[in-house]
């Protein structure tokens, strides 16, 4: 399995990412994750939609909480042709609890805790922590990655405006 040392940092400490690195223009790898009801969900279930995938370490941390709430707010104003997914290693039960407490209803939370299939397929699994790195990926309705931001310092937020612009471009094109 591919490893990228010093790919990201957490509070300045370097971390290694493992898995297949993806880039803009690649076909988005499919994955099978668990939703809040423990049902399997794959990326292919969203074929025909633009998909925003938020990869976060844990919803129970301040930046992940803030990011997912912000995208939930933005998703409320997006077309029905857009799906927003937050993927973390949190257990589905914790994700369900968090969504209820945060009032999140426009973002679907999915758990990668079982096999780290998403983390490995997208090169976002942090070797030292078995958590996901912070990234935003926009996949067009045809399944191509149109935007990819790996947030180098995990404790920082992503570029919301750039991600939302990529969604608009996907829908227009």
Token reading at 63: 């930046």
Report the candidate in 141, 69, 149 with the shortest Cα–Cα distance to residue 109. 69
Q: Which of 54, 56, 64, 82 is catalytic?
A: 64
- CB distance 96 to 108 below 8 Å: no
99 is catalytic: no
Token reading at 50: 């633009």
Locus of tokens 């609890």: 97
- 61: which residues sit within 8 A by CB, 6+ positions away? none
CA 127 and chain centroid, separation: 17
Catalytic annotation, residues: 64
């Amino acid at each position: 399995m591919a490893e990228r040392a010093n790919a990201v940092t957490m509070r300045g400490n370097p971390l290694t990412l493992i898995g297949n690195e993806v880039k803009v223009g690649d076909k988005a790898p499919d994955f099978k994750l668990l939703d809040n009801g423990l049902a399997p969900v794959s990326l292919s279930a969203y074929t025909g939609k633009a998909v925003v995938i938020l990869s976060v370490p844990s919803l129970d941390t301040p930046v992940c909480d803030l990011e997912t709430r912000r995208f939930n707010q933005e998703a409320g104003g997006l077309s029905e042709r857009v799906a927003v997914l937050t993927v973390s290693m949190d257990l589905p039960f914790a994700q369900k609890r968090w969504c209820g407490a945060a009032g999140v209803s426009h973002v679907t939370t999915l758990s990668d805790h079982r096999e780290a299939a998403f983390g490995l397929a997208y090169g976002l699994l942090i070797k030292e922590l078995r958590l996901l790195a912070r990234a935003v990926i926009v996949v067009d309705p045809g399944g191509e990655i149109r935007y990819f931001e790996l947030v180098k310092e995990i404790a920082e937020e992503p570029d919301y405006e750039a991600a939302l612009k990529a969604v608009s471009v996907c829908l227009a094109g």
